[in-house]
Amino acid sequence: MTTLDNATVTPVAIGRARGGPDVLTLRQDRWWVQPLVTVTVLTAFVVYSTWAVFVNKDYYVGIAMHRDLISPFYSPCIAGSCVPGSRGTDVVAYWWHITPALIVLGGPLGFRLTCYYYRRAYYRGFWQSPPNCAVADGHRRYTGETRFPLILQNVHRYFFFIALIFNVILTIDAVMAFRMPGAGGIGFSVGTLVLCVNAILLWLYSLSCHAARHLCGGGMRKFSTHPFRYRLWRLLTPLNGHHMQLAWASLVFVAFTDFYVRLVASGVITDPKLF
């Protein structure tokens, strides 16, 4: 049996922010891989999505190609600058003449930026605070999310409801993608599949949100008096356990969906009809 007398003791100087070790870390594994992957993927997404938002073309495949596919970055297209056919019937911002993607950007972006998982990921990856478990903080001081601007992260629960509105809209887009105007009326193409998978992933990501789980199971003393909320909580809890994976999958796929629509709209590829 190991006792304090014969145990090997590794001296650690306590000193950095949050009382961590004064050495970078005692970990011997490749702890830096996780923050490196986070920085790489998030940077690639930000660069691609910024370009896609401002390029302001090739975001809609319409009747000329017998399809009805719209990029999720541009939906709902409600500006005066939307290309003809891209859901322009309910245009509300006639005065908007720059890229329509800027109108819809705030909701999904705010939801992702304030997501509890992404916060952990980008605090670790970009801010090194800390880079990983049991690794020294990159900064001498730690103030958490108690002050401006990070205290604004608390609005995440409200962005959850905004995200649900976007999910409904993108689900309608996925249903509309079954339309094949001028080519049989209804069908199923690779583009339809891409928009459907995108909508499903976005729903799974949103419903696995911690705010959604709290909405169902939080603020009550006894589940027995709220059987419906309890059932919902039981449904969402396992989904919540996969929130990280769903966050990445939906992020990458939303960019892929835009990319696919863009390839078809620009004529680089044709959208194969499956049936």
Among 139, 210, 226, 273, binds ligand FES (CB under 6 A): 210
SS3 at position 60: strand
CB distance 136 to 20 below 8 Å: yes
Which C-beta is closer to ligand FES: that of 45 or that of 188? 45
Q: Is 117 an interacting residue with respect to ligand FES (CB under 6 A)? A: yes
Positions 136 through 165 that interact with ligand FES (CB under 6 A): 156
**Of the residues 65, 136, 194, 211, which one makes contact with ligand FES according to CB under 6 A:** 211
Does 126 bind ligand FES (CB under 6 A)? Our answer is no
Q: State which residue, 93 or 239, has the beta carbon closest to ligand FES.
A: 239
Distance, CA of 189 to chain centre:
25
Lookup result for tokens 């990501």: 205
Dihedral pair phi/psi, residue 201, rounded to 5°:
-65, -40
Sequence-distant (6+) residues with CB within 8 A of 67 are 61, 177, 179, 180, 181, 189, 191, 264, 271
What sections of the chain are H helices per DSSP? 33-55, 101-114, 116-125, 156-176, 190-207, 210-217, 227-240, 243-265
**67 is an interface residue for ligand FES by CB under 6 A:** no
CB of 130 to ligand FES, least distance (A): 20
Give yes or no for residue 116 binding ligand FES (CB under 6 A). Answer: yes
Does 209 contact ligand FES by CB under 6 A? yes
Distance of CA 129 to the CA centre of its chain: 21
Question: Among candidates 157, 168, 209, which has minimal Cα distance to 72?
Answer: 168
Q: Which of 59, 243, 260, 262 binds ligand FES (CB under 6 A)?
A: 243
- For residue 5, the minimal CB distance to ligand FES (Å) is 47
Closest approach of ligand FES to the CB of residue 156, in Å: 6
The stretch among 28-36, 42-50, 111-119, 215-223 that binds ligand FES (CB under 6 A) is 111-119
Q: Least distance to ligand FES from the beta carbon of 243, Å?
A: 6
